[in-house]
Amino acid sequence: MPRIENDEPASSFRRQHPSKGELQKRAILDAFRDLLAKRNFLELSVADIATAVGINRSNFYFYFESKYEVLGDLVADVWSIWIERTGGVPRRAHESIEIYHDRLINAAYSTWVDHDVILIAGMQAVGIDADIRRRWLALLGSYTREYAHQIEVDAAAGVATPITNDYVGLATVLNDMWIVAYYQDRLAKPQVSETERMMDNLRLVTLSSAWGIDPRREKIDSGAE
């Protein structure tokens, strides 16, 4: 029987299952997330995480340098979920500015609701750990640049009248405003009516400053018809 030649490397025939190391790393990430649901991030130690996983501290340090690195990986995972839920930052063809805005904001807020313990911890760590700050700003910066570009495109097309032509600066301020609002909302967990009030006011500020749209004016105009 002739020999069957195959140019693919032997590694391509290996079973695509997570390695023992990958499973251990995932266990550390999952245990840390569970701890964040019960205790403040700043109070947690590497010993707490190792105990929760059932390993010793030396095993922990084989996979992560610190609790901040664990948190950084979790934050990056949540940001990926955030962007996936958004469905892309650019405004879609035939998508109104109001619907575009609501799509981005609803995706962002739902991500904060579902993963608040991680994002709250991330906000707390930004001012403490340089690597967390670098990773957070890199993720936010990428989103902000795309958002600023959309404002610029809409302004050039004559469908937006932003209050400034510093589009990146404007997008940065707006995104920072939203993130702080989400952070405070998830810390306080107020009544639904208070969250809705906060979201309505942020929507008004964003649409009016970035696109020159006043939702209050539209309601008045539609009511007069």
Per-residue pLDDT averaged across 3-7, rounded?
44
Q: Is 59 helix (H, G, I), strand (E, B) or coil?
A: helix
Residues 60, 72, single domain; the answer is no
Give 118's contacts (C-beta < 8 A, 6+ positions apart): 33, 36, 71, 74, 75, 78
| pTM of the predicted model as reported, rounded to 2 decimal places | 0.83
| Residue 218 forms part of a structural domain | no
Q: What is the pLDDT of residues 159-205, one digit of tens each?
A: 999 999 999 999 999 999 999 999 999 999 999 999 999 999 999 99
Q: What is the pLDDT of residues 145-159, one digit of tens each?
A: 999 999 999 999 999
**Three-state secondary structure string covering 63-91:** HCCCHHHHHHHHHHHHHHHHHHHHCCCCC
Q: If 0-12 CB within 10 Å is exposed, 13-18 middle and 19+ buried, where does residue 88 land? A: exposed
Q: Give me the chain's average pLDDT, please.
A: 89
Residues 130, 209, single domain; the answer is yes
| Residue 104 forms part of a structural domain | yes
| Residue 190 forms part of a structural domain | yes
| Residue 141 forms part of a structural domain | yes
Residues 128, 163, single domain; the answer is yes
Residues 189, 129, single domain; the answer is yes
Residues 55, 90, single domain; the answer is no
Q: Which domain holds residue 32?
A: 17-64
